[in-house]
Amino acid sequence: MTAVPHTRTGKYVPRHAPPPARRIPPEGFLVVIYGGAVAVLALWWHHTPSVVGLDGWLTGAGRITGLLAGYACAVLLALMARVPVLDRVVGTDRLARWHATGGRYTVFLALAHTALIIWGSSITARTNVFDQTTTLVFQYQDVLWGTIGLLLLVGVGVVSARAARRRMSYETWHYLHFSTYLAVFLAFFHQLSNGEDFVADRPARLAWYTLYLGVAALLLWNRFLTPLRRALRHRLKVAEVHPEAPGVVSVYLTGKRLEELGAQPGQFFRWRFLAPGQWWTANPFSLSAPAGPHELRITVKEAGGHSRAVARLRPGTRVWAEGPYGAFTAARRSSAKVLLLGGGVGITPLRPLFETLPGEVTLVYFARRAEDLALRNELEDIAAARGAQVHYALGEGAGNSLPLTADALCDLIPDLASHDVYLCGPPGMTEAAKSALRGAGVPRRRIHHESFAF
């Protein structure tokens, strides 16, 4: 199958769909993570021949929770290290959910470790909890550093709570999150110098060093060195900003050897525009056309200060792009038939998939008004070239409105249950669509959705 990508010249050139990569079950990575947790518990078991008395049980539980918290910190950092194989197989949004869930457990484990160790040692020392806390914190320097790390970790947990996140910008939350690195650094040395399972066990210390240094190397390489190296190699810059719909613009970017990025339809980059007021933040935007050897394109809707400033970018502005990221690609497909279901600017990652996915593809595009249908001419040209169907569903009161229900979708696509569905749009729309698709008999494993809410 060939398709017809849009270019700034208005010409369409045939392209072949990229072959889907072999898919690895994301759950395989969870098995590895849980296996590491079992190994950590085995370390405690190896160093604990017996547990005697209440203080022994409390201290033992404190050691277990401390070991698990230390291991979980390394796992949390690895999940957000933007490792390409993790990102392609698991997906950025799922990694973010794992990270968020793991973060809550980690804070709980760290607090439980602190409380249990203090309680158990106070019984052993025959003193009260307050005096024992003061003794541990102020007479053992590494415990003091570990306490500071714990407070930083709890602080990050508080600002990451949903209620707190709503009250601050993504950029503020993102930079506050960097204090996690300091918290983990302080807790790491506290554990090695005071942890009973490491003090007299050199192989255990070496294993812990290997774990943490390996994660640090992943972070340094993928989050700092790789973006810098690619910025210098590919020399991305803004070529043109083109209006597509009210409040929606496409940004064309040119560069060198862009095919080396390996970007697939449906993926996104984190874009850092080196313009006044924008260089300090990097926001995720999907590619809205298949990547070319010398050109990329994103389509952005005004939804805040940063996205509004994108519309004012000048040609020649330098750009750093981190990525490509995301598993919202052809590799997820398992059926010969595909439904692309988009709402608003959610059409952005669906547009290149509509162009390149082989087989029978149907696109349904929800928008409030006809003038809000961004990239409409391109979608119709692609549909005509490949013999695909595209349906527009406008807001209530319009002549071609479409209720987002199982019955309405089945009336439109009678064999919907046999389709893979790629879904992208506003949160309310996507939740309603998931419910309607499940009601229409589409298996959960065939509903593919990736969110930027991380």
Residues 78 and 95: their CA atoms lie apart, in Å, by 10
The residue extents of the domains of the chain are 27-229, 235-325, 330-449
Nearest CA-CA partner of 346 in 242, 436, 429, 442: 429
Q: How much is the pLDDT for 195? A: 74
**pLDDT: is 394 or 9 the higher one?**
394
CA dist 361 → 1, 162, 266, 343, 413 (Å): 12, 37, 15, 17, 11
Q: How much is the pLDDT for 147? A: 86
Helix (H, G, I), strand (E, B) or coil at 340: strand
**pLDDT: is 451 or 414 the higher one?**
414
List the Cα angle 8/10/14 in 5-degree steps.
100
Q: Over the stretch 293-305, which tens digit does the pLDDT of each residue have?
A: 999 999 998 766 6
Tell whether domain 235-325 is in CATH 3.40.190.10.
no
The tokens describing 254, both together, are 């040119």
Q: Would you mind telling me the total number of residues written for the chain in this entry?
A: 454
Q: How much is the pLDDT for 421? A: 96
**Alpha helix (H) residue ranges in 282-361:** 305-310, 347-356
Q: How much is the pLDDT for 453? A: 56
Q: How much is the pLDDT for 24? A: 65
Helix 53-79 and helix 179-194, axial crossing angle in degrees, nearest 10: 140
Q: What is the mean pLDDT of residues 265-281?
A: 87
Q: What is the mean pLDDT of residues 377-393?
A: 92
- DSSP summary character for residue 18: P
Which contiguous run of DSSP H or E holds residue 249? strand 248-254
Q: What is the mean pLDDT of residues 385-392?
A: 91
The rounded Cα 131 to chain-centroid distance in angstroms is 44
Q: How much is the pLDDT for 13? A: 46
Q: How much is the pLDDT for 331? A: 87
Q: Is 61 in contact with 116 (CB distance < 8 Å)?
A: yes
**pLDDT: is 132 or 396 the higher one?**
132
Residues 445 and 441: their CA atoms lie apart, in Å, by 11
Average pLDDT over the chain, rounded to an integer: 86
- Scanning the structure block, which residue is given the tokens 């554990």? 191
Q: Is 18 in contact with 356 (CB distance < 8 Å)?
A: yes
Q: Is 103 in contact with 80 (CB distance < 8 Å)?
A: no
Phi-psi region of 188 (alpha: psi -120 to 50; beta: other; left: phi over 0): alpha
The tokens describing 315, both together, are 């040609």
Q: Is 297 in contact with 287 (CB distance < 8 Å)?
A: yes
Predicted confidence band at 396 (pLDDT cuts at 50, 70, 90)?
Answer: low
Q: Over the stretch 142-152, which tens digit does the pLDDT of each residue have?
A: 888 888 888 88
Q: What is the CATH number of domain 330-449?
A: 3.40.50.80
Q: Over the stretch 214-234, which tens digit does the pLDDT of each residue have?
A: 999 999 999 889 989 998 999
- DSSP summary character for residue 23: P
235-325 and 330-449 agree in CATH topology: no
Q: What is the mean pLDDT of residues 429-448?
A: 92
- DSSP summary character for residue 425: S
Q: How much is the pLDDT for 304? A: 64
Give the global pTM. Answer: 0.80
Q: How much is the pLDDT for 197? A: 81
Q: What is the mean pLDDT of residues 150-158?
A: 85
For residue 398, pLDDT over 70 is answered with no
Q: Over the stretch 20-48, which tens digit does the pLDDT of each residue have?
A: 444 567 778 899 999 999 999 999 998 88
